[in-house]
Structure 1
Amino acid sequence: MREQDSDSTLTRRRMLQATGAAGAVGFAGCLSNVTDGGNGGGGNTLEVLHGWTGGDGQRAINALTEGFKEAHSDVDTDFRPIGGGGNTNLNTVVSNRLSQNDPPSSFAGWPGANLQKYDGVLGDLSDVWEEEGFTDSHLQEAVEACQYNDQYAAVPIGSHRLNCLFYNTSVVEDAGVDPDSMSSIDDLITAMDTVASETDATPMAQAMKAPWTTLQLFGVVLLGQEGYDSYMTFVDGEGGGDAVRSALETTSTILSNYISDDASQIGLTGANEMIMNGEAAFIHNGNWAAGAYRGNDLAYDEDWGFVPFPGTEGMYTFHLDSFIYPGNNPSPEATKTWMRYVGGTEAQVLFNTRKGSIPTRTDVPTDEFGPYLTETIDDFQNADQLPPTLAHGLAVSPNQLTNMKSAITENFTGPYDVEATATSLLDIAQQ
């Protein structure tokens, strides 16, 4: 990927400001020794926990783990999927294991500000990063996000873009709607009105079984309607109340009028299936949705399409998946072998081509990624701004994210109390 000029680099690094924010959920003192080898040597089983239990995620992790086992057949492995929307159950299991001084070898998680919750129990992968040259072969944003307390605590596996609007091409064609013509959220609302009047499809598929999807929708509406500066003002805890209230009003309009009646019972996979089955016109989600389309043999620009969420053209809402390295590691040598593999070219192709994400390595050939992900890589290279994702641990601290999701649950799941939600979100962002 091309070298960024200094102004662009400074803009992109704003997404990592929250890494040093207050509000860590620390485990300091929980582990008696956070150096490697707490349970003795590298001959133990490599135990990796992750939350990918279905759809695109399951295909991606299966390809990744099978590739590792083929490349390192001498390593005894235990790859353990733990289901639950937005990594909720995975995070609980990991937290319990760490607090009981029983860390897994590694676990999937978000780096950046999210690493604060593991303060005191993270191991040091600096030797792996140096030996493998990862600081030069991975995106600078990913390199910085995987550092904590001046050490490397994780290895990135892929990057997701969050400001995506996907659509079923047959539904929008039947409605006479052109997604490429939408330049504002007002245009999107007009298009959804047309879908409602001209077809039997739901205008927008939305999962509301967990609060993070609603928080994510609010975040992209804030970006698209109020702009990058207003979004950063909010996530940086510097105010922006009028913009937040306006974005919540628009989000309330969408949720009150354009989603399915059973949205509160639907998870992310179910909502995305509405697009694949032609039951809905649009869905806002990260580009993991495209991994599901590809995994179900749906063709880009034939069965489904994509545009940046209206109003966010030129932006790439940035999110990272990684594997995190606990200290007091039960299998340090095997775990570092896993981390070397995760950061390598083969792993990044196996995982990201199926997950609907793009590699964090800058030297991965794009010929296996297909037109959509190749377009996404190009969009990243040429983005004007990289706002950090709100609902996935880069823009705010772990405590703030937990409290924001609680605010959504309490005040914004129908009926939609804009004022109470705005007050809560603003207070939390400024903590």
Structure 2
Amino acid sequence: MIQRRPLLALPALISVGTMAACGEDSTGSGTAAQTSVEVFTWWAQGSEKAGLDALVEVFATQHPDVEFVNGAVAGGAGSAAKDLLQSRLRAGDPPETFQAHAGAELNDYIEAGQIQDVSALLDEFGLRDAIPERLLARLSVDQAIYSIPSNIHRSNMVWGSATVLNDAGIDTSSPPASLDEFLEQLQRLQGAGVTPLSVGTTWTQVHLLEAVLMAQLGADAYNGLFDGATAWDGAEVTAALERFEAMIGHTNPDRDDLDWPGATQQVIDGAAGYNVMGDWAIAAFEQAQLVLGEDFVAFELPGREKVFGFLADSFTLPEGASHPDGARAWLETVSSVDGQLALSLAKGAIPARTDVDTAEFSEYMQGALTSFAQDAICSSIAHGAATSVAWLTAISEATSQFTTGASDLAGYQSALADAAGSGRG
């Protein structure tokens, strides 16, 4: 059971929607103080920045009296941002709101008493009827909710260059039917003299690992990795790690020097056959004016069953922020129909709300909506839905040791099992 600090500030927060317009400044002159909101994210480049820009445009329309302060820190999946954020929270200098992944990632902040329960805001914004139950269940911690979701992403996607694949004699009319068939295609690409599978720095390698685990284990066994029902040192995990090892052997030698945009760009440029990345990558292909089914292909990494690798970007209400009314305004925009539509179209996501008009959504996005509604859900490791920050850090360190050759497969699996033991407490 997670112990939380009592929530003291939220009732006051909900009543301060007009505070900026009627509050007095410190001189008592009666002049309204400028309300601002520092929004701390890792949306600093590529389609992620385009998504933030789209949200800011809606925010400026909905809340013209609140100044937006961009606190973005570069680094895919928040790899750099989370370290800086934790330093600020410990120093008592929180931003008004910060991006987080909905799910287990929030446990660290909850246990430290660094974020507030925002359940009352879900009621005020009318979100309980607009957000599907399978998402609400993943937002809830001990019957409380600590973040407002802005979108939903699918993590276990493969992106491929149609030209590179066709040149290697790979039929792009249908995706491979199994992990072993996918590995056979990587071997064929290797023989054709191109990079078979592009990846980037450590977090993208963990992202690949989770997709392989989902495919090899299936939803029930994969989800059991996080509640103890599936053993990390078991034979099925060994089989998954063997396939992961084979895939890493077919990747680009400069992988540790790239973040996700650079790895995805190799496919766009025709320098690599495949890339495994979340569906925010779709925006990069579309910005390059490439057409799905003609210039590039997209499919979930094949495995035992159809699964939706789940993550959701969300925003929090930190304890002790200087402008809680600014945070409330941002959370209102993030959760609004207009905000979620703008973000989804720019970032390649699907909305957390079910009442957003999806007429403008692309073929890929329509498919993602169907998959989230129908397929088994597997929470992402690399993006904080399945694991706490500390547990993810341990997985990332073990993965880096393995992919750089500092440990063998048996040592890697042992390290992952140790991380699970510590992560689950």
TM-score calculated relative to the size of structure 2? 0.88
- Matched position secondary structure for 2:241: helix
State the 1:87 CA deviation. Answer: 0.5
- Hey, what's the Cα distance between the residues in 2 that align with 1:182 and 1:345? 37
Q: CA RMSD in A?
A: 2.3
Whether contact under 8 Å (2:189, 2:196) holds in the other structure is: yes
Which of 36, 43, 48 in structure 2 is aligned with 1:57? 48
Question: Counterpart in 1 of 2:339?
Answer: 347
Question: Counterpart in 1 of 2:178?
Answer: 184
Which of 204, 223, 240 in structure 2 is aligned with 1:213? 204
Specify whether residues 160 and 285 from structure 1 end up closer, same or farther in structure 2 by C-alpha distance, changes over 3 A only: same
- Hey, what's the Cα distance between the residues in 2 that align with 1:414 and 1:86? 24
| Amino acid in the other structure paired with 2:349 | S
Question: How do 1:223-238 and structure 2 match up within 5 A?
Answer: 223-238=214-229
How many residue pairs are counted as aligned between the two chains? 399
- Matched position secondary structure for 1:135: coil
Whether contact under 8 Å (1:123, 1:328) holds in the other structure is: no
- Matched position secondary structure for 1:375: helix
Which stretch of structure 1 is more off in the superposition, 117-126 or 46-55?
A: 117-126
Which stretch of structure 1 is more off in the superposition, 398-407 or 280-289?
A: 398-407
Question: How do 1:257-268 and structure 2 match up within 5 A?
Answer: 258-268=250-260
- Hey, what's the Cα distance between the residues in 1 that align with 2:137 and 2:221? 24
- Hey, what's the Cα distance between the residues in 1 that align with 2:404 and 2:128? 42
- Matched position secondary structure for 1:45: strand
State the 1:137 CA deviation. Answer: 0.3
Which stretch of structure 1 is more off in the superposition, 141-150 or 54-63?
A: 141-150
Whether contact under 8 Å (1:396, 1:429) holds in the other structure is: no
Whether contact under 8 Å (1:235, 1:390) holds in the other structure is: no
Which of 413, 417, 422 in structure 2 is aligned with 1:426? 417
Whether contact under 8 Å (2:58, 2:333) holds in the other structure is: no
Where in structure 1 do 4 or more consecutive aligned residues deviate above 6 Å? Answer: none
State the 1:181 CA deviation. Answer: 4.4
State the 1:370 CA deviation. Answer: 1.0
Which of 298, 316, 319 in structure 2 is aligned with 1:324? 316
- Matched position secondary structure for 2:189: helix
Q: Structure 1 stretches of 5 or more lacking a match?
A: 1-19
Which stretch of structure 1 is more off in the superposition, 135-144 or 108-117?
A: 135-144
- Hey, what's the Cα distance between the residues in 1 that align with 2:333 and 2:304? 35
Which of 136, 155, 161 in structure 2 is aligned with 1:162? 155
State the 1:416 CA deviation. Answer: 5.4
Highest relative contact order (Cα 8 Å, sep 6+), 1 or 2?
A: 1
Specify whether residues 145 and 330 from structure 1 end up closer, same or farther in structure 2 by C-alpha distance, changes over 3 A only: farther
- Hey, what's the Cα distance between the residues in 2 that align with 1:158 and 1:312? 27
- Hey, what's the Cα distance between the residues in 2 that align with 1:276 and 1:366? 26
- Matched position secondary structure for 2:149: strand
- Matched position secondary structure for 2:48: helix
State the 1:225 CA deviation. Answer: 2.4
Which of 37, 40, 46 in structure 2 is aligned with 1:46? 37
Deviations, residues 33-64 of structure 1 (Å, cap 9, x unaligned): 76667xx9655321111111111101110111
Specify whether residues 411 and 106 from structure 1 end up closer, same or farther in structure 2 by C-alpha distance, changes over 3 A only: same
Q: Does 1:81 align with 2:75?
A: no
Deviations, residues 340-398 of structure 1 (Å, cap 9, x unaligned): 11111111111111111111100111122211111111121221x10111211111222
Q: Structure 2 stretches of 5 or more lacking a match?
A: 21-32
Aligned identity (percent) is 28
